[in-house]
Amino acid sequence: MRQPNNMILETALKLLLFFIVLFSIYIFTAGHYYPGGGFIGGLMTAGAIVLLLITYDIKTVQKILPVDYRIVTAIGLLFSIGTSAGALFFNVPFLTHVFTHVEVPVLGDLALHTATIFDLGVYFVVIGVTMTIILTIGEDE
């Protein structure tokens, strides 16, 4: 069985991967005002990693991204629970979010919202769960 020559796929991926990841980050940040958010952004980032898995093998991808995806899931859950439970310290109900406008010298007016951190937790959970499922299916010998 002759191994196919993946040269074209690898070269195209070297360029396309960065575009996909950047677009997924945009989708994640646009979630408050436009369609998007943590779930779809996390799925798209996981899709980029799956594209890496299709092009190379699992060992190479583990070298490129030395991440344990179960820990990523745990960190995401911690983010979400932490932002929800933080409301309890200020005597307001669970899951109450606050937002402020902050004047940063260079960037100008930033609207900071704690729901973004909650969404970041969702983002990490989606990446972790998707990659755990795919890797456990792919790794069984």
Partner 1 sequence: MAFQILLNIVLAYLWMFIKVSFDPVSFVKGYLFGLVVIFVLRRFFRSRFYLFRIWSFIKLTLIFLKELLLSNIAIVKIVLKPKLTMHPGIFALQTNLTKDWQITLLSSLITLTPGTLVIDISEDNRTLFVHAMDIGEVQDEISGIKNTFEKAILEVSR
Residues forming the site for partner 1 (CB under 8 A): 4-5, 7-8, 10-12
Q: How far is the CB of 16 from partner 1 (least distance, A)?
A: 11
Identity of the residue, 5 or 100, whose beta carbon is nearer to partner 1 in the bound complex: 5
Of 76, 75, 98, nearest to 86 (Cα)? Answer: 98
Identity of the residue, 8 or 137, whose beta carbon is nearer to partner 1 in the bound complex: 8
Q: How far is the CB of 102 from partner 1 (least distance, A)?
A: 23
Q: How far is the CB of 8 from partner 1 (least distance, A)?
A: 5
Identity of the residue, 4 or 66, whose beta carbon is nearer to partner 1 in the bound complex: 4
Q: d(Cα 121, Cα 42) in Å, to the nearest integer?
A: 10
Q: How far is the CB of 7 from partner 1 (least distance, A)?
A: 6
Q: Is 102 helix (H, G, I), strand (E, B) or coil?
A: strand
Q: Using only C-alpha atoms, what is the Rg of the chain?
A: 19
* Helix segments in the chain, DSSP class H: 7-29, 38-55, 58-64, 69-85, 114-139
Identity of the residue, 11 or 96, whose beta carbon is nearer to partner 1 in the bound complex: 11
Q: How far is the CB of 101 from partner 1 (least distance, A)?
A: 25
Both tokens of residue 14? 């070297």
Both tokens of residue 58? 């699992």
Identity of the residue, 3 or 100, whose beta carbon is nearer to partner 1 in the bound complex: 3
Cβ atoms of 39 and 122 within 8 Å: the answer is: yes
